[in-house]
Structure formats: structure tokens, C-alpha cells
């Protein structure tokens, strides 16, 4: 039997489609020319199941969504102490391109704003790596998170480089504080190549699922980064991922997330799933308008807020019986307790396992056990 998730995603996309508020990013000419009507949503569970709706295979540039992944690479390549000495973990409450440096040390406040992301880029790869080798390390690292080879969009890259005055200003400030130790122009060039990596919504969901899965890419089973790095990255996404809208996001959606100015948005729910959306019109914070609405819906419909406390559970399986014989046999499980109802209905176990084919939806009375039927 088909999963109910694609139908759910299609319904939710239809609900947000009429919202044409916001504008595509204007400061990178190539992004301003993007088709603003594109819309996609993809769920990738930690067991490798992927469901998408809309335009999940349309490619766009990753932009700031690269930041948590490149921060993860810097932590892996240089170690926590060396990275934390140069990039903080405090929300800046300022716009993504603000020159937010600590007064005394000149350290960028966090790796999700441009100042911190440019620094994190400079800390990837081994010591003495060349700028070209570093870009290669970053593209290969992003590809490992996605589980397929990614490439750079040279047109978007050139378009952004021509208009990179602000990022260059940030990099020169970082150089003056000794946070960057090499040519600021070469570092910004590498950072912009990082932002210009082409991805689809499907790729982004898989990258988020790799974070949700303790750093293991679900389809390839490759350990891309270790669990301690993932914990650090998800923590920073939770507090700083949505720029100066991070507090609203934390209370209303409650999923560690990161947005990009091309219109992508990811969320990673530890132990459960990666979510990605794509819609190019942005709000005043630089976050996708329809993407934010989609995540608000997902969180509310499925109880995905990480702070949501499930009711205390007793034994989950109340009864487990087989009814009928042969091809008509059906297993009936009566389930109770702290189950994520929607995911169970979709045949997805909240803890990542399970390939159940639910034949009947949940009981509408929350005090009664859910009755799920699987074909044998």
C-alpha cells in the first residue's frame, strides 16, 4: 500500500502556493532571475526512505545552507579547540551579512552568519592547504553529506563574486583581527564557490537526514562526521540557524534549521528525519516565506518540535494478532503511548526503523490505542 506522506506533502504545498509575498534575493543578480513559483518539500528519514512533492529535483544553489556542513568539516579537520578559538556559538540577533565580531577578540559570534562562515571555510582541510584544494575538500564534503557528487554553478558564482563587496569587507575585518591568516580575497572566493554548489531539495533533505542520523549518510552508510560534531552543529543550528528570526523559529517550529538566500530551507530532527523545502521568495530576514510556513505546518501537524514532551508511555504494543490466512492474512497491532502518530500512519517508525504499511489511520480519540494493520 502507498505511503500517505506524498499526499500529505502535496496537500500542504497546495495550501501555501497562493502566498506570493516576499522577493527572491536581489543582491546576487543570478538569484534575482530565479523562477519564484518553484516549490518543493522532501522528507528523508534516517532509514533512507525519501518522500517528495512539487519540484524536488530542480537544482538551485545551496548558499547559506552550506554553513552548518562546512562548520562540521572545520570541526572534523581542525578539532573543536582550534575552531572555537576563532568562531563563537552565540546568537548574534543580527542579519546574516552583519559585521558581527566580538568587541575584544574580533571573533565572529557564530558560524551561521557570514563572518563566522567565511572563517569556518578558512578552517577546512589540513593546515597549509591551497585555496583550490580547500574548495575541493568542501565540495567533496558536501557531496558526502548528500550521498552523490555535487558541482559548482559557475554562473551564480561569478555573479556573486562581482558583487561580493560586503563579504570582502567582512573578510578584511577578520584579517585585521588575525582571525583570517591569509589573503581575504582568496578566502571569499572559496566561500562563494561553497555557496554556489548546486543542490536539489532531495539532496538537501538527505544532507539534513545525515545530521539527523548522527553523521551517517542513510543510503551510503558512510560516517561523514562523528556524533560529537553533529551535536555541536545541530545545537548551533537550533540557536543561530535562522538569523535574527531564530527565537521565533525556536518557539514556533522548534527544529534545528538553516536557510539559504536561494530559497532552500533544511531542518534536522535528531534520530528521525531530515526535511527540506524550496521556494525562492524571501522575507525580510532572508528566509524563504513559503518555506517557513511549510515548516510551521509540519511541526504543528506532526508534533515535531524538539521540546514537545510526549505523554508517559507504557508498553507500546498492547496486542499483536494475525487475522485470516494466506494472501489475505493481516497482522493487527494495537499500539499505545508516545508514538508520533503521523509517522506511524505513514509506516515510518519514530526511531528510524519499520517499513509498516498502515491500512487504517489512527483512532481519533487520543485515550484509545491506535489500531494499525499491516499486510503480511
Q: How far is the CB of 143 from ligand GLU (least distance, A)?
A: 19
Question: What gap in Å lies between CA 326 and CA 290, rounded to an integer?
Answer: 48
- Minimum CB separation of residue 42 from ligand GLU in Å reads 19
Residues of the shown chain interacting with ligand GLU in the complex, contacts defined by CB under 6 A: 63-64, 96-97, 114, 160, 167, 195, 260-261, 286
Per DSSP bridges, beta strands 264-269 and 330-335 are unpaired
Parallel, antiparallel or unpaired: strands 317-323 and 273-278: unpaired
CB of 157 to ligand GLU, least distance (A): 10
261 included as an active-site residue:
yes
Residue nearer to ligand GLU on the CB measure, 160 or 203:
160
Cβ proximity to ligand GLU: between 55 and 160 the closer is: 160
- Of 8, 12, 46, 64, the active-site residue reads 64
Q: Which is nearer to ligand GLU, 197 or 206 (CB)?
A: 197
CB of 182 to ligand GLU, least distance (A): 19
| Residue 195 CB, nearest approach to ligand GLU (Å) | 4
Angstrom distance (rounded) from CA 174 to CA 178: 6
On whether the CB atoms of residues 64 and 134 are closer than 8 A, the answer is no
Map grid coordinates 552543529 to a residue: 233
Q: Is 230 labeled as catalytic in the residue annotation? A: no
CB 362 within 8 A of CB 334: no
Tell me the closest approach of the beta carbon of residue 79 to ligand GLU, in angstroms: 26
Least separation, in Å, of the C-beta of 63 and ligand GLU?
3
Out of 12, 261, 289, 292, the active site residue is 261
- Give the nearer residue to ligand GLU in terms of CB position, either 159 or 336: 159
- Taken in order 62, 63, 65, 69, the sign of the CA dihedral is positive
Burial pattern 329-356, b for ≥16 Cβ within 10 A else e, equals: eebbbbbbeebbbbbbbbbbbbebebeb
Considering the complex, state which of residue 141 and residue 260 has its C-beta at the smaller distance from ligand GLU: 260
Q: Which of 251, 156, 249, 243 is nearest to 197 (CA)?
A: 156
Q: Is 243 a catalytic residue?
A: yes
C-alpha 275/C-alpha 206 separation (Å) is 8
Q: Using the minimum distance from each CB to ligand GLU, give the nearer residue, 257 or 358.
A: 257
Terminal-to-terminal C-alpha distance of the chain: 12
Question: Do 113 and 92 meet the contact criterion of CB atoms below 8 Å apart?
Answer: yes
In DSSP terms, which residues pair with 331 in a beta bridge?
A: 322, 374
Q: What is the DSSP string of 270-319?
A: TTTEEEEEE---B-TTS-BHHHHHHHHHHHHHHT--TTPPPPPP--SEEE
Exposure of 339 in the CB half-sphere (CA atoms within 13 A): 28
Q: Please give the residue whose beta carbon sits closest to ligand GLU in the complex.
A: 64
**For ligand GLU, the closer CB: 208 or 261:** 261
State the catalytic residue, choosing from 197, 236, 243, 288.
243
Of the residues 67, 143, 156, 288, only one is catalytic, namely 67
Scanning the structure block, which residue is given the C-alpha cell 522575507? 283
- Is residue 40 helix, strand or coil? strand
Tell me the catalytic residues.
64, 67, 191, 243, 261
Amino acid at each position: 500500500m502507498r505511503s500517505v506522506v506524498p499526499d500529505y506533502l502535496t496537500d500542504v504545498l497546495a495550501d501555501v502556493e497562493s502566498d506570493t509575498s516576499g522577493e527572491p534575493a536581489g543582491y546576487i543578480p543570478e538569484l534575482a532571475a530565479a523562477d519564484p513559483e518553484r516549490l518543493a518539500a522532501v522528507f528523508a528519514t534516517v532509514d533512507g526512505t525519501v518522500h517528495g512533492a512539487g519540484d524536488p529535483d530542480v537544482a538551485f544553489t545551496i548558499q547559506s545552507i552550506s554553513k552548518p556542513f562546512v562548520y562540521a568539516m572545520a570541526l572534523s579537520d581542525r578539532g573543536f579547540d582550534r575552531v572555537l578559538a576563532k568562531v563563537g556559538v552565540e546568537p548574534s540577533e543580527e542579519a546574516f551579512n552583519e559585521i558581527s565580531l566580538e568587541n575584544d577578540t574580533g571573533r565572529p559570534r557564530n558560524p551561521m552568519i557570514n563572518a563566522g562562515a567565511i572563517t569556518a571555510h578558512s578552517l577546512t582541510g589540513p593546515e597549509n592547504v591551497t585555496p583550490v584544494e580547500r574548495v575541493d575538500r568542501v565540495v567533496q564534503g558536501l557531496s558526502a553529506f548528500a550521498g552523490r557528487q555535487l558541482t559548482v554553478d559557475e554562473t551564480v558564482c561569478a555573479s556573486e563574486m562581482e558583487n561580493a563587496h560586503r563579504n570582502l569587507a567582512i573578510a578584511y575585518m577578520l584579517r585585521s583581527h588575525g582571525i583570517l591568516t591569509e589573503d581575504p580575497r582568496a578566502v571569499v572566493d572559496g566561500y562563494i564557490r561553497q555557496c554556489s554548489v548546486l543542490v536539489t531539495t532531495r539532496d538537501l533533505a538527505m544532507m539534513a537526514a545525515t545530521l539527523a542520523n548522527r553523521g551517517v549518510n542513510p543510503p551510503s552508510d558512510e560516517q561523514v562526521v562523528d556524533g560529537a560534531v553533529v551535536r555541536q552543529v545541530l545545537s548551533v543550528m537550533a540557536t543561530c540557524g535562522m538569523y535574527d528570526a531564530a527565537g521565533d523559529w525556536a518557539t514556533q517550529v522548534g527544529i534545528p534549521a538553516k536557510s539559504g538566500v536561494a530559497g532552500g530551507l533544511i531542518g534536522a530532527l535528531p534520530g528521525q528525519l531530515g526535511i527540506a523545502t524550496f521556494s525562492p521568495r524571501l522575507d525580510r530576514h532572508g528566509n524563504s516565506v513559503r518555506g517557513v510556513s511549510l515548516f510551521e505546518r509540519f511541526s504543528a501537524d506532526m508534533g515535531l518540535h524538539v521540546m514537545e514532551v510526549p505523554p508517559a508511555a507504557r508498553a507500546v504494543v498492547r496486542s499483536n494478532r494475525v487475522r485470516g490466512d494466506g494472501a489475505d492474512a493481516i497482522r493487527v497491532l494495537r499500539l499505545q503511548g508516545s508514538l508520533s502518530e503521523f509517522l506511524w500512519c505513514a509506516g515510518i517508525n519514530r526511531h528510524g526503523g519499520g517499513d509498516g504499511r498502515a491500512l487504517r489511520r489512527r483512532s481519533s480519540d487520543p485515550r484509545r490505542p491506535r489500531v494499525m494493520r499491516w499486510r503480511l
